[in-house]
Amino acid sequence: MMDVLLVLLALTNLALLGSSRLGACINTVALQGVLLALLSLFAPTGECSLRLVVLSIGMLVLKAFVCPWLLRRALRGARVSREIEPFIGYTASLMIGLLALGLSFWLSERFPRLRPDLSPLVLPVALATVFSGLFLIVSRRKALTQALGYLVMENGIFAIGVALSQELSFLVELGVLLDVFFAVFVMGITLFHIQREFDHIDADRLSSLKDWSGRFPKMAFDSETKILREGHE
């Protein structure tokens, strides 16, 4: 049962890396939330306690419904449906996702197995999830996909927690969930404001907003510099 959940988790990572539709990506991340909630329900050794069920349900509600809902709202506001030109193409991203998966299998062989009762796939898949999240953040242009990458990374960290700890600490997990909720909430608002100010959510173009570094940023201000120079002459 756990194996199936973990393989599905690995597949959602790869699907995220290979898909260009932002709506589909959000749905995939929501599916990851469901998988993680189930995983946290199945993983612990002890009997099914009340707080575990509460934690799982909290996670399900937050990661599978609230966060995707917030992001979907931001998506509607931004009026984009696709990541047009990622820094790294989808086929190459898939290959890199596969490499990351291989790397995490290799790495986790070198970790001591703290939970021999769990499936040996937990740690590698969790590591691969973290890697995929990181990769999404650095390789995609749209701020929305980067927010998704953050969520995926957080999912991976949670899965690592499942793999390494005997018992999930209730308060810590609740705190993390709250943090994630606020982070996504703030990201949603930020996305909305970026979209309203600049008419796009391409995060890489925001670098032209940084302080003046000796010369004018090329793309945005070329025409104005020309006018300025002409004015001086």
How many chain residues are in contact with another protein, going by CB under 8 A? 19
**Residue 179 touching another protein (CB under 8 A):** no
CB atoms under 10 Å from CB of 54, counted, come to 12
Min CB(60)–another protein separation in Å: 23
Token digits for 82? 């696709």
CB atoms under 10 Å from CB of 46, counted, come to 8
Which residue lies nearer to another protein by CB, 11 or 176?
11
**Residue 95 touching another protein (CB under 8 A):** yes
Stretch near another protein under the rule CB under 8 A, chosen from 9-17, 78-86, 138-146, 215-223:
9-17
Amino acid at position 170, single letter: F
CB of 202 within 8 A of CB of 82? no
Stretch near another protein under the rule CB under 8 A, chosen from 25-33, 118-126, 188-196, 203-211:
118-126
Q: What span, in angstroms and rounded, lies between the C-alpha atoms of 223 and 155?
A: 45
**Residue 163 touching another protein (CB under 8 A):** no
Min CB(183)–another protein separation in Å: 30
Min CB(48)–another protein separation in Å: 24
Q: Which residue has the tokens 């932002």?
A: 22
Find the DSSP H helices in 19-66.
22-42, 50-59
**Residue 103 touching another protein (CB under 8 A):** no
On the CB side of 38, CA atoms within 13 Å amount to 15
Select from 52, 59, 121, 159 the one that contacts another protein (CB under 8 A).
121
**Residue 4 touching another protein (CB under 8 A):** yes
Min CB(205)–another protein separation in Å: 26
Select from 9, 12, 14, 56 the one that contacts another protein (CB under 8 A).
14
CB atoms under 10 Å from CB of 161, counted, come to 17
Which residue lies nearer to another protein by CB, 4 or 53?
4
Min CB(108)–another protein separation in Å: 9
At a CB cut-off of 8 Å and minimum separation 6, what does 10 contact?
Answer: 101, 125, 128, 129
Which residue lies nearer to another protein by CB, 39 or 187?
39
Min CB(19)–another protein separation in Å: 10
CB of 159 within 8 A of CB of 129? yes
Minimal CA–CA distance to 147: which of 59, 75, 96?
75
CB of 149 within 8 A of CB of 136? yes
Catalog residues that contact another protein under the rule CB under 8 A: 3-4, 7, 10-11, 14, 18, 90-91, 94-95, 97-98, 101-102, 105, 120-121, 124
